[in-house]
Structure formats: structure tokens, C-alpha cells
Structure 1
Amino acid sequence: MSDFWLYVRLGLEHVLDWNAYDHTLFIIALCATYTLKTWRNLLLAVTFFTLGHSVSLAFASYEIFSLASDWIEFLIPVTILATAVVSIVNAYRKKMAATGILFTILTFFFGMIHGFGFAGYFKMINDGNIFTHLLEFALGIEIAQIVIASTIVVLGYIVQEIFKLKKLYWVVTLSVLVMILAMPMLLENGIF
């Protein structure tokens, strides 16, 4: 039973670690266009990100497929920037919660990239029960992401309903802030 909480806690800490805030930035960018009314669609997007993250961890842990760490460190901020740009574009198109199949597939793919970024550490700490520990770790990730997503949606509600900020301004401000914070990661990890 102690392994269960160890890996759940590891998943929570992976997302909520302020020293490695890339995951948090991605979730914020992903959540920017969602509202309290569209929480089901948001939960679906967050879950597909977790699934992608788990699939890539499984691929790497079972030595099916992995990517070079320099590429992963470059691609992670690219996923954050791309998600923020999609949120901005959707805000201007007034399509505030892009939940189509293409966006879901993209979110899953971005989750895979983020998962490969953690694969080396996960393989190092894993004691051999890969599948069970992956599920426990994924549960921790999902819980942490739901906490972040809920916080962003509630903040969005407060800013838009109480302070009367237009939704477009909320989405653009949040997305641009995420882009500003992600840009140094991209520059530090440039592969060219």
C-alpha cells in the first residue's frame, strides 16, 4: 500500500513542482478557454493529456520507443507555446473551448512529449512493477492537473463575472503570460 501512495505522490509532485513548472504552464494554456459550463470538455482534455503522458512513459519503461532528451527538452516548451497560440486563436474566433477530435489528438500527442521528459527518472526509481506504478503515477498526475484546471476555471469565472473582464481579454492575457514564461525554456533548450 505504501508504494501506491509513493507513486501517486510522485505524480502530484511531478505536476505541482515549481522548479519544473512546464507541466503547470501547459495545463494553464490548455484551460484558458474553458469555463464552468464546459468543465466536462476540460476534464476530457486533461485526461487525454494524462493518457498521452502515460503511454510515452510505458513506451520508454518497456523500452519500446524513446526520444533523445535534447529533443524532448526542446519540444516541451513548443507544446506549451502551441497550446497557448491555439487558445488565443480560438478566443479570437469565438470558439472558446476547442474540443474537436483534432484538438483531443493534439493534446494526447503533447502529453506523450511531456511523458518522455519524465521517462528517465521514472525508469530509475521504478522497482519493476511498471504497469501498476504507471497507473498510480497517472492518478497523481490527473489529480494535480484537475486541481490546476479547477483553479484556472474558477479564477476565470471570478475575473469575468465579478470584475467584468471580457472572456477574450482573459484568454489572451493568460495565454500570453504562459508564452512569456515558456519562452526562456525554449531558448535554453534550443536544438539548432
Structure 2
Amino acid sequence: MNNLSSFFINGWNHIVDINAYDHLLFVMTLCAAFRLTQWKQILVIITAFTIGHSGTLILSALDIIPANSEIIDMLIPFTIMITAVANIINYDKHSKFSDTKIKYGIALAFGLIHGLAFASNFKFMLFGDNIIMPLFAFNIGIEVGQLFIVLLFMIFLWFYTKLIKGEHFKWNLFVSGAGFGIAATILINAVNGG
């Protein structure tokens, strides 16, 4: 696997593959609190997440910072759970979590953790000395996959709010609650070594 397209495909698969559902779940939970009309804010928060995980992906892939996969496997579901709770609290307009800058900060900080997980996957694929272009292709694959997931998520949200006439609060509650529950299961499995 030394050509750039295979690194792009692996980056894509790391996000959209149902078996890599922890990152997929984080992206969906991150977007759950936003309405369709807030698509620009969704792009900004996804960009904040991207900046975070790109930074640690690059630093870890270049062996500048270490990544302990056991700790990362426990931190990933924890990031999902905190995001889910922040989504529910966000509906209270007087909450400190309703500030958009705090949401972006959370996405950026949690992106740092997710980037370490991406790096362990990337390092597993890497053979040879040339790391820059494969790293770039892998990261672009992650980003394109991430945007694809957000687009699908927004299509489902459109169907729910426009065709079914569902309330956004219930959508947020369902997606965030499901994200929290699945992440809690992942965390329990990681703690128990499964």
C-alpha cells in the first residue's frame, strides 16, 4: 500500500466504515445540536475538529508526540459522552455551554484526541521513509469522509424536520442520547480490555 490513492481510501474508510463507528458517532453527536439553518456553524465546528485531529495526526505520525492506544481507546468514547451531555445542556439558553466559542473549543480539543487514534491507524499502513504525501492523502481521505457523513446526517435531519415535521429538540435528544449510550458501551469494553 504505497500509492497515494490507497492512503486516501484508508483515510476515507477510517471515517465511513461502520466498523470504525466511534469517529462516525462523534461527528454525528457533534452535529446533533445544530439545526439545518446553522449549516455554516456546522462547517466551522467540523473545521475546528479537523484542525485538532490533523495536528495530532501529523505530530504523532512524525513521532513527535507519543500515542498510547489503550488510553486513546478510552478517551474517544469519553469525548462522545461529553459532547452528548453538552448538546442536551445546550438547549438551556442560560447555560455556559450555549456559547458557540465553547462548542468550537470542545471540538478542537477533542479533535486532538481523535487525531492520535487516526495516527495509530496511519502508522500501521506506512511502509518506507516518505511520510508527507501519504499523510496528506490519508488526512484528505478522512476529511472527505467526514464531510460525506455530515452531508448524510443533514439529509436525515432535513427529512426529519421538513417531511416528518419532527422537533429539533427531540432529534438532538435522540442522537445525543444514542451517542452517549453507545459511547458508554465502548468505554466499558475498553476498560474491560475488550
TM over 0.5, shorter chain? yes
TM-score normalised by L of structure 2: 0.88
Q: Which residue of 1 aligns with 2:11?
A: 11
Q: Which residue of 2 aligns with 1:121?
A: 121
Q: Which residue of 2 aligns with 1:135?
A: 136
Asked if 1:64 is matched to 2:64, the reply is yes
3-state DSSP of counterpart to 1:154: helix
1:121-180, CA deviations, whole angstroms, 9 ceiling, x for partnerless residues? 312322332222222112111111111111212211221222122111111011111112
Question: Over the residues paired in the alignment, what is the CA RMSD in angstroms?
Answer: 2.2
The answer for unaligned runs of 5 or more in structure 2 is: none
The answer to whether the 8 A contact 1:69-1:117 is kept is yes
The aligned runs of 1:1-192 (5 Å cut-off) are 3-93=3-93, 100-126=100-126, 127-190=128-191
Distance in 1 between residues matched to 2:94 and 2:37, nearest whole Å: 15
The answer to whether the 8 A contact 1:41-1:99 is kept is no
Q: Name the stretch that deviates more: 135-144 or 76-85.
A: 135-144
Paired letter, 1:27: V
Distance in 2 between residues matched to 1:47 and 1:128, nearest whole Å: 29
Q: Name the stretch that deviates more: 164-173 or 114-123.
A: 114-123
Q: Name the stretch that deviates more: 73-82 or 55-64.
A: 55-64
Distance in 1 between residues matched to 2:30 and 2:76, nearest whole Å: 14
The answer for unaligned runs of 5 or more in structure 1 is: none
The answer to whether the 8 A contact 2:52-2:108 is kept is yes
3-state DSSP of counterpart to 1:53: helix
The answer to whether the 8 A contact 1:11-1:137 is kept is yes
Percent identical pairs in the alignment equals 31
